[in-house]
Amino acid sequence: MPESIYIHIPFCTHICFYCDFNKVFLKGQPVDEYLQALHREMETTFQQHPPQKIKTIFIGGGTPTALNEKQLDYLMQSIHSFVQFDPNIEFSIEANPGDLTTGKLKVLKDHGVNRLSLGVQSFNDDLLKAIGRSHKAKDVYVTVEEARKIGFENISIDLMYGLPNQTLEDVGHSLEEFFRLNLEHCSAYSLIVESKTIFYNLMKKGKLPLPSEDIEAAMYERIMNDMNHHGYHQYEISNYAKKGYESKHNIVYWDNENYYGLGAGAHGYIGSARRSNVGPVNKYIQAVEETGLAIREEITLTKKDKIEEEMFLGLRKTAGVSVKKFKEKFSVNPFEYYHDEIEKLTNEKLIEVNDEFIRLTEKGRFLGNIVFQEFIK
């Protein structure tokens, strides 16, 4: 059974221009009814697939900390009523700077949350406004200081690059502020313009001034170099951590392991089946009221599917795909199964291999999606 849980809270106090996650504007939404439905889905899911000791929990969104203190407390009590925690559990929650009041931080801390993931994106106030964020840079410092006072010792932030009108100097400034805060972890993502977003509509109209591919590549290189210089290990294409602070929950995804997915629009992976939930909030609530679950689609993976996922997920890690683990999982030698692909990518200096691993080269990290595509037969 899975040892990790993802819980989705779809409510936001504002909608960012780049976001295509399952989310709704908070005002007027049936938040309490949603949390009750989530409680019921947990109950049904864990009856059908009883969990062992849970090693990681990640509450994402949306903006989970858009909930008020009472609602956060209810959510935490729901989790504790069904889940037995591993003593060394990593319990994370996403939050926006400025949303985390002292009261909310205390509720989270009292219920065992020990890792905060803050959606900072940039330390440039003008840029934050241009991408639809509601916080300012000063809110980041206040939130981090308050979280430290409450006792949080594992704080991560998200940064973005390749944003409209963003410069290499701006990326450098955000990195400097991150280092000054002395946080434990950073996820640095390039902007991907997804359909059904405000940015997508602007791009279609020719009104989204994005940096060139060369400048975006220079931004990525700057991030990698500066992180390494300041002692942050790049353990995945977009993730950097001080030693011992890698995201255990995200590694579950990249290791292609099972996890529960709960909430509207959430995805889970149990046994050989990947499942996704109904997305719209009211339809999710209705589905759970009727059946105890809200499954929109469930796909049973073939051995071929699993092998492909093992490769393109595992190659995201700088450690790469373990040859030993691959053989144990699939009773297949990856060098035989992917002989032509591995030979081609090695010759192109996009991957490097030995008896222990298959992993991206530094050049390969810049062209990751091209590499991943090669392993989908």
- Given a cut of 80, is residue 248 above it in pLDDT? yes
pLDDT band at 172 (very low <50, low <70, confident <90, very high): very high
Task: Provide the 8-state DSSP code for 65.
Answer: G
Q: Are 184 and 235 in contact (CB under 8 A)?
A: no
Average per-residue pLDDT for the chain? 95
- Given a cut of 90, is residue 302 above it in pLDDT? yes
pLDDT at residue 138, rounded to an integer: 96
pLDDT at residue 19, rounded to an integer: 65
Distance CA 377, CA 372 (A): 11
- Given a cut of 90, is residue 374 above it in pLDDT? yes
- Given a cut of 90, is residue 366 above it in pLDDT? yes
pLDDT band at 152 (very low <50, low <70, confident <90, very high): very high
pLDDT at residue 323, rounded to an integer: 97
Distance CA 208, CA 191 (A): 12
**In 3D, which of 199, 203, 281, 250 has the Cα closest to residue 22?**
281
Chain segment 80-112, per-residue pLDDT in tens: 999 999 999 999 999 999 889 999 999 999 999
pLDDT at residue 52, rounded to an integer: 87
Distance CA 240, CA 223 (A): 10
**In 3D, which of 132, 116, 230, 234 has the Cα closest to residue 178?**
230
- Given a cut of 80, is residue 16 above it in pLDDT? no
Encode burial over 270-297: b for 16+ CB neighbours within 10 A, e otherwise: beeebbbbbbebeebbebbeeebbbbee
- Given a cut of 90, is residue 301 above it in pLDDT? yes
pLDDT at residue 193, rounded to an integer: 80
- What domains can be seen in the chain, in order of their start residue? 4-254 (3.20.20.70), 321-374 (1.10.10.920)
Report residue 202 CA to chain centroid gap.
25
Q: Are 147 and 154 in contact (CB under 8 A)?
A: no
Q: Are 210 and 258 in contact (CB under 8 A)?
A: no
pTM of model > 0.75? yes
Q: Are 58 and 5 in contact (CB under 8 A)?
A: yes
**In 3D, which of 166, 56, 175, 192 has the Cα closest to residue 120?**
175
Region of 249 please: left (phi>0), alpha (psi -120 to 50) or beta. Answer: alpha
Greater model confidence, 62 or 344:
344
pLDDT at residue 165, rounded to an integer: 92
pLDDT band at 22 (very low <50, low <70, confident <90, very high): low
